[in-house]
Chains A and B, each alone.
Chain A
Amino acid sequence: MDQPLLSVRNLTVKFGEFKAIDGLSFDLYPGKTLAVVGESGSGKSVTALSIMRLVELGTRAKVAEGEVLLRRDDGSTIDLLKQSERAMRSIRGNDISMVFQEPLTSLNPVYTTGDQVIETIRQHRKTTRRDAAKRALEMFEKVRIPRPDKVMQDYPHQLSGGMRQRVMIAMALSCDPRLLIADEPTTALDVTIQAQMLGLMKSLQQETGAAVMLITHDMGVVAEVADDMVVMRNSKFVESGSVYDIFEKPGAAYTRALLASVPRLGSMKGKTEPERFDLVDREGM
């Protein structure tokens, strides 16, 4: 197997005395999709922000210990937690980029979508505004936005939720990142739009070879797109492994309980009456 693209080792993040992440470790391989799964308060979103080193900005959080190793193109690795802010800025949006849950609030309401994508490109590539605009248009076409030239002139509030998320993805992929972190990218979307988005992300991943770290609470989405998964609960690592293995035979009691409470579409075939969830007693875990 390849060397991992990203290795998180014993990551611990504190908000004051409270540990938002407590000794988390996992590996993410190039071209693969890793799902980080957990319920609210499990620390999955903090993990993403910690890798980007965005967690300490404007909050009381502090990365207390651990390593986040990123493998560079030349094979060397760097610890993101030890990089200067300046070095991190050249990595964010360039080597690692992010897509968030709420596409409306994640785009700045006072600038056009085009401007926001062009800004990203010009931040990391030395190009003229014109070339950046050309590249942005290409990206808009790549994420299959109809009439991309027009949408570039639109403000975020003029677009539908699905279009906004396409703009976010175009922006995130505009500098050919090797890792895309997607934090609940489809949670705010309707189910048919979610399906489009999952299909799009999958095909773009095949096209660009980027690794994807997918943060979600939705087991359906995990089962659909992820290769590997990490389960978190109450800031702590629970288990990790291939999606097939964990869904087939969850190792940890918590994972078993969690999967038992997930309704699986199609599981009621042949039954006429409703059926309760077969819940596992989680007391004392």
Chain B
Amino acid sequence: MTTLRDTTTLADTRERPPIERYQGLRMFMANKAAVLGAILLGVILIISYILPLFITTDKLAYVASRHTPPLTEGGPILGTDYLGRDVALIVMHGGSTTLEVAGFAALLIIFVGATIGAFAGYYGGMVDRVLMKVTEFFQVLPGLLFALVVVALFGASTATIVIAIGIVSWPPIARQTRSEFMKQKGLEYVKAAKAIGASNARIILRTILPNTFPILIVQSTLTMGAAILFEAGLAFLGLGDPNNLSWGYYVGLNRQYFLTNWWAVSIPGFMVFLTVLSLSLIGDGLQDAINPKLRGR
């Protein structure tokens, strides 16, 4: 073996970078905006899920005179709404409704989109053409309007809302997964796997899918954000559960009083904004952290 080395390793013994471990996590942590997003999301989750366990007062009770502005002495910290209810309390309880609807919708979207995209991208040909026509069809449906129709026809339950959001929101994920699969499929490392004798299933699951994960994960955070906005829009138009006042629904309820009571509309809206922003920041940070080519720059 020594003879081999003498003739072959000369120019290639340049210094190698250190072996990397947890570098993705470190890249993420170095992205201040992404860390901020993660902290923000943590706080929102605590407010929506942990705090309500300790505060058991009836959220719909009358606590102070109607339209008490925030920070008024004797009134609740974020003021009261048009019925004299505590805005802070209602907003605190509203988070879980929004997050659950959006979470289920996002799961549905990712699952349907990724599956259809993977099939179309990997198999190509006729399968691809048919699936892409179907995708195109769902993409031209104006999302919110379609959801309005579905919810109006089938009633405003959590399930219908989740399905309505899901039906119109999967096409972009499908397109992206498809193009990623097509791109990866053509790369030589996939050919190499075939040449080694790997089966189709192994290639899809062990070779291509891990390489599309980063994109899917980033897309999930963005999809989750979009689903929250979608739910908020629907609820704002009055299509939500009147017993679980989600943030969007609560903005809708308070809308007609906004000239006198600006806080009851702005605060729940602001919560929607913050939640979506935190998810987008995380997604943006992940996008950089997960790309091995950007690592170690």
Q: A residues near B, CB below 8 A?
A: 276, 279, 281-283
Contacts and interface: CB of A to CB of B under 8 A. Distances in A.
Contacts of A281: 10
B7 interface: yes
Nearest to B6: A281
A269 B217 CA distance: 59
Chain A interface main SS type: loop
Contacts of B11: 282
B interface residue count range (under 10 / 10 to 19 / 20 to 34 / 35 or more): under 10
8 contacts: A276-B7, A279-B7, A279-B10, A281-B10, A282-B10, A282-B11, A283-B10, A283-B13
The majority secondary structure among interface residues of chain B is loop
B11 to A, nearest CB: 6
A282 B8 CA distance: 11
Interface in B1-59: 7, 10-11, 13
Interface in B177-225: none
A283 B11 CA distance: 8
A279 B5 CA distance: 12
A283 B13 CA distance: 9
A30 B13 CA distance: 42
A279 B11 CA distance: 11
B275 to A, nearest CB: 37
A283 B7 CA distance: 11
Given A279-B7, A279-B10, A283-B10, 5 more contacts: A276-B7, A281-B10, A282-B10, A282-B11, A283-B13
Nearest to B9: A283
Contacts of B7: 276, 279
A281 B6 CA distance: 8
A201 to B, nearest CB: 31
Interface in B221-247: none
Contacts of A283: 10, 13
Contacts of B13: 283
A282 B6 CA distance: 11
Contacts of A279: 7, 10
Contacts of A282: 10-11
A187 to B, nearest CB: 21
A281 B7 CA distance: 8
A5 B125 CA distance: 58
Closest 4 CB pairs of A and B: A282-B10, A279-B7, A283-B10, A281-B10
A279 B7 CA distance: 7
Nearest to B8: A279
A281 B10 CA distance: 7
Nearest to B7: A279
A279 B6 CA distance: 10
Interface string B83-111: 00000000000000000000000000000
Contacts of B10: 279, 281-283
